[in-house]
């Protein structure tokens, strides 16, 4: 086995070319993962694992095949390449198949320093992770005696090396770390009902991670606040999306701006580029060049130079996100948005998806609402990406005369995404990062709230 991931990727590409591939690329991932989960003060699970895997894509006569293996012995690598060549020969030809254009590839000598690696995370021991998790859970129980149970607290760290090489001469690699801690607190409510909520933090650098005590207290506070939750009748009211749940909206938009979704005509944003789709308060970008962020990368899954892409500017929809294949199918250019797994073809996806914060303190978003909903949770998958129709289960707090009056549960929230985006009339100043996305609290003028 070649111990250098980039050298291994380059060797695999060379083998593929010698065996007859017109084009080829190889993707190598080497990672270690450690985590500790505790529950009610006792260790429930400890994971300490490592993995190495390689995937190869070969193109011959516009026919593509992808193969992968976790066996990195020379014999297995040789067989991997031969299998890929044989599979390509029986695949259907596709005129759009191929590597990115050479001029799109990132220059390896000018890779930006994105601060993806943190030595403190890499050096964290299992005992230290256990202590983090125990402190987190203890803080939740100490916060309020009504917190009677825990679904566990988990602390984990990952270190990964990614390497990519292709037959156009590109070769690049980078090392990244990230740590995460999260827990779920549980309270007993009337009639034997349980109320639960969670909080978590994920960062590439340990010093940016929320402290265990902060995570535990926030999980507990959110669970306790749900005690006494009840239903409300069906009505149409203003809805304030708390920052954590605004990330759910961001994930929906991320799927809608995929170039693959555009090709399949499965997005409500088709044919709306350059148009005022959303409120002028809505601006967000896909930015893989932010230092120290989970979604940052010097190049995409095909080796294309990373770049900042404006998606919405002042409510105007600017860009879909493309990998090279889907761009070719539509006569477009890649935006450097290719993502890939070891055994999958590249496809477009977001890196750091960031919504711009507003100027309004989050509490002020509902201060002038006569009657409405502060949305804190969404459940289910009721979104039609083609039409934009939205209908999902929800929880939150009822607003009366600018005050949060009681928690609500067993409700449904419905509308259409175009109307919802256009109806944003305020954005909070509380930008919250969750993994590779960032969003503030948002206020929408009106949505239908239905009792279940």
At 28-82, the pLDDT tens digits run 999 999 999 999 999 999 999 999 999 999 999 999 999 999 999 999 999 999 9
Tokens of 182: 């999260």
**Tokens 């999260």 — which residue?**
182
- Average pLDDT, rounded, for the chain: 96
Residue 250 pLDDT grade (very low, low, confident, very high; cuts 50, 70, 90):
very high
Which of 262, 244, 255 is CA-nearest to residue 199?
A: 244
Query: How is the chain split among helix, strand and coil, in percent rounded to 5?
Result: 25, 40, 35
Average pLDDT over residues 139-168: 97
Average pLDDT over residues 189-217: 96
Average pLDDT over residues 220-243: 97
Say how far apart CA 136 and CA 219 lie, in whole Å.
Answer: 10
Output the DSSP codes for 38-65: EETTEEEEEEEEEEEEEEEEEEETTEEE
Query: Cβ neighbours of residue 305 under 8 Å, at least 6 residues apart?
Result: 104, 105, 106, 107, 299, 336
Average pLDDT over residues 434-443: 97
Q: Where are the domains of the chain?
A: 5-224, 229-452
CATH no. of 5-224: 3.30.2290.10
**165, 26 contact by CB (below 8 A):** yes
**pLDDT of res. 245:** 97
List helix spans (H) across 226-300.
243-256, 259-264
Residue 109 pLDDT grade (very low, low, confident, very high; cuts 50, 70, 90):
low
**2, 11 contact by CB (below 8 A):** yes
Question: Which helix (H) or strand (E) segment is 28 a member of?
Answer: strand 23-39
Query: Cβ neighbours of residue 131 under 8 Å, at least 6 residues apart?
Result: none
pLDDT at position 287 over 70: yes
Say how far apart CA 129 and CA 136 lie, in whole Å.
Answer: 11
Say how far apart CA 397 and CA 406 lie, in whole Å.
Answer: 6
Cα–Cα distances in Å, from 91 out to 59, 77, 155, 298? 10, 21, 44, 32
pLDDT at position 2 over 80: no
Which of 88, 119, 9, 90 is CA-nearest to residue 53?
A: 9
The conformation of residue 99, written as its DSSP 8-state character, comes to P
In 143-224, the DSSP E strands lie at 147-166, 171-188, 194-203
Give the chain's radius of gyration (CA, Å).
Answer: 24
Residue 381 pLDDT grade (very low, low, confident, very high; cuts 50, 70, 90):
confident
pTM of the complete model? 0.94
Tokens of 450: 């239905």
Residue 110 pLDDT grade (very low, low, confident, very high; cuts 50, 70, 90):
confident
Angle at 288 between CA 284 and CA 290, to 5 degrees: 85
- Write b or e for each residue in 172-202: b if 16 or more Cβ atoms lie within 10 A of its Cβ, otherwise e: bbbebbbbbbbbbbbbebeeeeebbbbbbbb
Provide the pairing of β-strand 63-69 with 42-60.
antiparallel
pLDDT per residue as tens digits for the range 159-178: 999 999 999 999 999 999 99
Tokens of 350: 């977001």
Average pLDDT over residues 272-295: 98
């Amino acid at each position: 086995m070649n111990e250098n991931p980039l050298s291994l990727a380059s060797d695999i590409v060379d083998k593929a070319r010698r065996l007859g591939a017109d084009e080829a690329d190889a993707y190598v991932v080497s990672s270690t993962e450690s985590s500790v989960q505790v529950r009610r003060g006792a260790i429930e699970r400890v994971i300490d694992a490592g993995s190495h895997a390689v995937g190869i894509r070969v193109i011959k006569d516009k026919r593509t095949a992808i193969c992968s293996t976790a066996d990195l012995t020379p014999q297995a690598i040789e067989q991997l390449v031969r299998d890929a060549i044989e599979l390509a020969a029986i695949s259907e030809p596709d005129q759009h198949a191929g590597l990115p254009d050479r001029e799109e590839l990132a220059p390896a000598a000018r890779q930006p320093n994105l601060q993806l690696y943190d030595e403190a995370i890499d050096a964290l021991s299992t005992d230290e992770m256990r202590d983090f998790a125990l402190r987190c859970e203890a803080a939740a129980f100490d916060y309020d005696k009504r917190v009677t149970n825990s679904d566990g607290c988990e602390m984990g760290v990952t270190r990964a090396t990614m390497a990519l090489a292709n037959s156009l001469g590109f070769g690049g690699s980078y090392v990244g770390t990230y740590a995460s801690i999260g827990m779920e607190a549980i309270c007993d409510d009337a009639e034997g009902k349980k109320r639960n909520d969670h909080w978590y933090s994920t960062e590439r650098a340990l010093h940016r991670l929320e402290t265990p005590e902060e995570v535990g207290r926030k999980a507990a506070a959110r669970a306790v606040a749900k005690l006494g939750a009840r239903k409300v009748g069906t009505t149409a009211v203003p809805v304030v999306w708390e920052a954590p749940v605004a990330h759910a909206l961001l994930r929906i938009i991320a799927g809608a701006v995929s170039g693959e979704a555009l090709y399949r005509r499965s997005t409500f944003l088709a044919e709306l580029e350059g148009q005022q789709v959303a409120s002028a308060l809505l601006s967000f970008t896909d930015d893989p060049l932010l230092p120290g962020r989970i979604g940052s990368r010097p190049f995409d899954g095909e080796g294309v130079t990373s770049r900042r892409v404006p998606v919405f500017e002042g409510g105007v929809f600017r860009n879909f996100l493309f990998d090279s294949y889907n761009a070719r199918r539509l006569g477009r250019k890649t935006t450097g948005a290719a993502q890939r797994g070891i055994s999958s073809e590249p496809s477009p996806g977001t890196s750091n998806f960031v919504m711009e914060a507003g100027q309004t303190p989050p509490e002020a978003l509902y201060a002038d609402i006569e009657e409405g909903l502060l949305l804190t949770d969404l459940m289910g998958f009721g979104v039609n990406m083609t039409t934009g129709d939205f209908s999902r289960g929800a929880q939150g707090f009822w607003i009366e005369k600018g005050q949060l009056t009681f928690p609500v549960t067993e409700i449904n929230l419905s509308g259409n995404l175009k109307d919802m985006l256009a109806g944003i009339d305020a954005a909070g100043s509380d930008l919250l990062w969750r993994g590779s996305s960032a969003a503030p609290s948002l206020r929408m003028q009106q949505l239908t709230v239905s009792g279940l």
